Amino acid sequence: MDYKNAAWRKSMELKIDYNNMMKEFVGEEQGFSVKDFTDNKKLIASAFNTVCENRGTGMMGWTELPYNQKEIVADIIATAKDIKKKFDNFVVLGIGGSALGPIAVFQALCHLRHNELPKSKRKAPKLYVEDNVDPERMVALLDVLDLDKTVFNVVTKSGATSETMSQYLIIMDILKKRYGDKAKEHMIATTSAHKGNLIKIAQAEGLKTFYIPDGVGGRFSELCPVGLLPAAVVGIDIKAMLAGAAHMDKLCKNKDYKKNPALISAILEYLAMQNGKNISVMMPYADSLKYIADWYCQLWGESLGKAVDNDGNEVFVGQTPVKALGVTDQHSQVQLYREGPFDKVITLIAVENYRKTVDISNGCEDIPDVNFLCGHTMNELITAERKATEYALTTAHRLNYTITLPEVNAFTIGELLYLFEMETAYTGAMLNIDTFNQPGVEGGKNATYALFGRKGYEKTKEEMDNAPAKKAEYFC
Ligand code: PA5
């Protein structure tokens, strides 16, 4: 990956084709015109300025991650090298923003069957990301791990999340019983340097610790140690990922929306929301990008789903993000996308060059209706199917646009993650909401603390106890 070369970087730039969001292609009733952009000129300029002014401050510390982590990256690479030497399994204990990014990047940039490969071909530890507290899953994990060859990374920014801390307690207990004082050699912590309980525990236990910067919220944390350490452990070029993010950052600083991929996509989604399109479907045409759609769903849903705006008005805004996979979901969801309510924007993600080519074999010479496939490749087929979906949606007047990656590599994944983060920031600014808080998620966390009798949550417990009792007549 020649990311230090400007021509190479240019050749790896993502492209956004939004023709099918415009009236000329999707029809007068559903589509937009350039006039819609000019009518919203002031709003667009104000959103652009808000994002630019807030860069690197408050909860927008993530805009600096492509630039300010030289020493941290060196530490991560050295730690990853050491882990590779000593261990065969790397297990992330975390949830939400502490899990979805590592899963997405692993799927995008490692062999699609990484964990199943023999060690000689894998050349890096297996990666497991445990983002649930389903007891069956915990037991299943322990059934397959050789603890002697396993290191855990407990990741929580708040250092308080019940799911993650309960996993930590379970695993640390097992490690201590087995390794005594050496248990700490099997546990890393990634958390806030100043807040929460995990930092205190990590210091007391003497754990190797990576820090999540204050201005980087969970869902914006993939490009800090939360995502970089697991990525480096499985052999991903994290410097290339950050270079891709930096490249996208430059594009997203352009005042001219026609040259700013995050701003144009934010405008389109904003206009769509104003027209009642309250569902955003993310549909990559690549298994490698399947979990990027998952990661996007958290980013988009948790950032933009808000009850009040910055002036305290009740607004109840946000689009429900939906993940889909091309071509798999052509045989389930696309029926709804094409013929159901006009309430969606569908984002297709295309890949120009897949990393592998597979020929469709010759055969069935006597059956033309099967034989027409022969002589082609799976690459041609998946591309044709994406174009077919685009055509089907557009002719049914369904808003859709396509983001194309020249290929899937660490640089383009860095670009894509950063593009979505910036798009989210611009859209939130247009909606005049706090993009970076999550009172809804915290409400759920607090209710769990209350149910478990955590000190300080007595009032919530009382409220929950006094909630109306369920009626027998409504059970069936
Ligand atoms: O984006 C967010 O802030 C959340 O989804 C968090 O990532 C999630 O709740 C986990 O929080 P923490 O990292 O504090 O354990």
The total number of residues written for the chain in this structure = 476
Q: Are residues 152 and 300 in the same domain?
A: no
Regarding pTM above 0.75, the answer is yes
Rounded to whole angstroms, the Cα distance separating 93 from 129 reads 6
- Domain assignment present for residue 378? The answer is yes
Using the structure block, give the residue that is written with the tokens 């109306």.
Answer: 468
Residue 452 resides in a domain: no
Domain check: are 195 and 124 in the same one?
Answer: yes
Map the chain to HEC letters: CCCCCHHHHHHCCCEEECHHHEHHHHCCCCCECHHHHHHCHHHHHHHHHHHHHHCCCHHHHHHHCCCCCHHHHHHHHHHHHHHHHHCCEEEEECCHHHCHHHHHHHHHHCCCCHHHCCHHHHCCCEEEEECCCCHHHHHHHHHHCCHHHEEEEEEECCCCCHHHHHHHHHHHHHHHHHHHHHHHHHEEEEECCCCCCHHHHHHHHCCEEEECCCCCCHHHCCCCHHHHHHHHHCCCCHHHHHHHHHHHHHHCCCCCHHHCHHHHHHHHHHHHHHCCCCEEEEEECCHHHHHHHHHHHHHHHHHHCEEECCCCCEEEECCEEEECCCCHHHHCCHHHHHHCCCCEEEEEEEEEECCCCCECCCCCCCCHHHHCCCCCEHHHHHHHHHHHHHHHHHHCCCCEEEEEEEECCHHHHHHHHHHHHHHHHHHHHHHCCCCCCCHHHHHHHHHHHHHCCCCCCHHHHHHHHCCCCCCHHHCC
Q: Ligand 1: which of 158, 166, 192, 194 to mutate, judged by most atoms within 8 Å of the beta carbon?
A: 158
Total number of domains in the chain = 2
Last residue of a domain, one of 203, 236, 269: 236
Instruction: Tell me if 464 is assigned to some domain.
Output: no
Residues 201 and 91 in one domain: yes
- The CA 177 to ligand 1 mean position distance, Å, reads 30
Ligand 1 touching residue 95 (CB < 6 A):
yes
pLDDT per residue, tens digit, the chain (476 aa), is: 799 999 999 999 999 999 999 999 999 999 999 999 999 999 999 999 999 999 999 999 999 999 999 999 999 999 999 999 999 999 999 999 999 999 999 999 999 999 999 999 999 999 999 999 999 999 999 999 999 999 999 999 999 899 999 999 999 999 999 999 999 999 999 999 998 999 999 999 999 999 999 999 999 999 999 999 999 999 999 999 999 999 999 999 999 999 999 999 999 999 999 999 999 999 999 999 999 999 999 999 999 999 999 999 999 999 999 999 999 999 999 999 999 999 999 999 999 999 999 999 999 999 999 999 999 999 999 999 999 999 999 999 999 999 999 999 999 999 999 999 999 999 999 999 999 999 998 888 888 999 989 999 999 999 999 999 999 999 99
Ligand 1 neighbour 260 (Cβ under 6 A): no
**Which residue's CA lies nearest to atom 12 of ligand 1?**
156
Closest CA to 73 of 214, 241, 187: 241
For ligand 1, atom 3, which residue shows the shortest CA distance? 218
* Structural domain span for residue 298: 6-39+257-429
Tell me: do 218 and 111 sit in the same domain: yes
* Ligand 1 contacts CB of residue 217 (under 6 A): yes
Look at the block and give the residue holding tokens 């007549």: 473
Do 165 and 88 fall within a single domain?
yes
The verdict on residue 288 lying in a domain is yes
Residues 225, 283, single domain; the answer is no
Same domain flag for 282 and 185? no
Same domain for 230 and 191: yes
Same domain, 129 and 215: yes
Query: With a 6 A CB cut-off, is 435 part of the ligand 1 pocket?
Result: no
Q: Is residue 55 part of a domain?
A: no
Please list the active-site residues: 302, 331, 445
Q: In this structure, is residue 450 part of a structural domain?
A: no
Return the ligand 1 atom nearest residue 97 CA: 7
- Looking at the domain assignment, is residue 448 inside a domain? no
Q: Ligand 1 in contact with 409 (CB < 6 A)?
A: no
Q: Do 404 and 298 share a domain, yes or no?
A: yes
Same domain for 293 and 414?
A: yes
- From ligand 1's centre to the CA of 307, what distance in Å? 19
In this structure, the strands spanning 15-17 and 400-407 are: antiparallel
CA dihedral 417, 420, 426, 430 (to 10 degrees): -160
Residue 308 lies in a domain: yes
Distance CA 239, CA 222 (A): 13
Q: Which of 176, 205, 236 finishes a domain? A: 236
Question: What's the token pair of residue 331?
Answer: 């045989």
The CATH number assigned to the domain holding 145 equals: 3.40.50.10490
Judge whether 127 and 245 are in contact, CB under 8 Å. Answer: no
Domain boundary among 176, 201, 236: 236
Do 27 and 143 fall within a single domain?
no
Is 301 a pocket residue for ligand 1 (Cβ < 6 Å)?
Answer: no
Q: What are φ and ψ of residue 464, in 5° steps? A: -65, -40
